[in-house]
Amino acid sequence: METHHHHHHHHVEAPKSLNSVFVLCIVLNVLFVVVETGVGFYSHSLGLLSDAGHNLSDVFSLVLALVAIHLARLHSSETFSYGYKKSTILISLLNAIILLIAVGAIVIESIHKFITPEPVSGEMISWTAGVGIVINGLTAWLLMPRGNKDLNVRGAYLHMVADTLVSVGVVVSGVIIILTGWTYIDPIISLIIAIVILISTLHLLSESLRLSLDGTPEEIDPQVVRNTILNCEHILDVHHIHIWAISTTEVALTAHLVVDSLDEIERVKAEVKSSLLAAGIQHSTLELELPDAHCSDHDCDCLHTDHEHTSND
Top-confidence range, 9-13, 75-79, 98-102, 273-277: 273-277
- In Å, how far from its chain's centre is CA 25? 17
- Percent of the residues in the chain that have a pLDDT greater than 70, as a whole number: 85
Kindly report each contact of residues 204-210 with a partner whose C-beta sits within 8 Å and lies 24 or more positions away, as own/partner: 204/92, 204/95, 204/96, 204/99, 204/151, 204/154, 204/155, 204/158, 205/93, 205/96, 205/97, 205/100, 207/92, 207/151, 208/89, 208/92, 208/93, 208/95, 208/96, 208/151, 209/93
Sequence-ordered alpha helix ranges (H) in the chain: 16-43, 46-73, 87-115, 122-143, 151-180, 185-212, 222-230, 265-278
More confidently predicted of 14 and 165: 165
Q: What's the pLDDT tens digit per position in 112-145? A: 878 877 677 778 778 888 888 888 888 888 887 7
Q: Which run of H or of E encompasses 239?
A: strand 235-245
Cβ–Cβ under 8 Å, residues 58 and 159: yes
Closest CA to 290 of 281, 280, 301: 301
Given this model, what pLDDT does residue 210 score?
A: 92
Domains by residue range for the chain, with CATH: 16-212 (1.20.1510.10), 222-309 (3.30.70.1350)
pTM beyond 0.75, yes or no: no
Q: What's the pLDDT tens digit per position in 256-282? A: 999 888 777 888 888 999 999 999 898
